[in-house]
Amino acid sequence: MKTVPVLEVLDLAIGFPAARAVHGVSFEIHKGEMMALVGESGCGKSLTAFAIMRLLPPGARIQNGQVIFDGTDLATISPRELRRIRGNGISLILQEPMTSLNPVLTVGVQVAEIIRQHQNLSRAAAKARVLELFDLVGITEPHKRYDQYPHNFSGGMRQRVMIAMAVACNPALLIADEPTTALDVTIQAQVMDLLDKLRRELSMAVLLITHDLGVVAQWADRVAVMYAGRIVETAPVQKFFSAPQHPYSMGLLNSSVSNGEGAWHYTNHRLSEIKGSVASAAQATGCSFAPRCRHVIAPCHGGQPKLEAVEKGWLATCCRAQNQEERIHEFA
């Protein structure tokens, strides 16, 4: 029996006055699942995440599509309804915790404020809940830390505070936008282990926005690859790393470096660049990756390819991927 997804994004398009930046993005995330959205800078990953929360930058707007959460289309509901869902049903973690925390308020007060906004708790009960959360996310001496300011915390500890804030109201969906970018490798692993532990214990769906394929290989269940404002491949993580079906996915793997667990896909492959320049997301016809693809064939220059099934649960826009005889079996 097919389960109902926690979040379902359908044909989402996001544009600015001058051009469209995200085209027809569709994906779904289920309870307890971590899905990674990957791609190079500027491909539309963060814009897609901010559209889900209706936190788009000035000038950007949702031009088409639906964002279904708990049976509600977030793209069309009122600001009041949206405020009820933000922080309560859906939470967001950003990549730089220092800019997300108020430097003149103690961290305990900031987390307690989120709890009191969404739950009918007294100050004492909210403080008790904060202390529980600090213990849950591995912040030692929570009573002492409650009264300290953000500058008293290291980068890794500040990110733990942000995670405590994000899970304070037991959200069904957590969006983590590059949550480990500003941290060193050891702290990155600790933060990702914590997110993985929490999503399993709380049965929480996680949308992980990242460009780090090593992180994806080790912690994600599924991966969706974006290029020039479009999703070009979605797959279970192990299938993606063992036999990617889109040439851009292959190029990402071959131009990435990873160490330790989850790095099996790089063995015996020399690092190589993806030749050419990134296509504009506003490109109207043909496969957007065709100008850079070494496997290009005549149909690639026709209309924009659709995201179609390679097999159950595995989709790609490459016209070769749908034809078993023409599939690209070697790395780019």
Instruction: Output the average pLDDT for the chain.
Output: 88
16-21: long-range pairs with CB below 8 Å, 24+? 16/59, 16/60, 17/59, 19/280, 19/281, 19/282, 20/63, 20/229, 20/281, 20/282, 21/47, 21/60, 21/229, 21/281, 21/282
pLDDT value at residue 261: 46
154 in helix, strand or coil? coil
CA–CA separation, 212 and 202 (whole Å) = 25
Global pTM? 0.91
| Range of lowest pLDDT (11-25, 49-63, 185-199, 246-260) | 246-260
Report strand pairing: 173-177 vs 205-210.
Answer: parallel
The answer to whether 297 and 286 are in contact (CB under 8 A) is no
Q: What is the mean pLDDT of residues 63-75?
A: 96
Q: Which range, 27-31, 247-251, 280-284, has the best average confidence (pLDDT)?
A: 27-31
The answer to whether 103 and 151 are in contact (CB under 8 A) is yes
Domain-by-domain residue ranges, the chain? 243-332
pLDDT value at residue 99: 80
pLDDT value at residue 258: 57
- What's the pLDDT band for 115 if we cut at 50, 70, 90? very high
> pLDDT at residue 269 above 80?
no
| Range of lowest pLDDT (79-83, 94-98, 108-112, 203-207) | 94-98
Report strand pairing: 230-236 vs 222-227.
Answer: antiparallel
pLDDT value at residue 297: 86
- What's the pLDDT band for 2 if we cut at 50, 70, 90? low
Nearest CA among 48, 63, 76, 49 for reference residue 15: 63
pLDDT value at residue 264: 44
> pLDDT at residue 270 above 70?
no
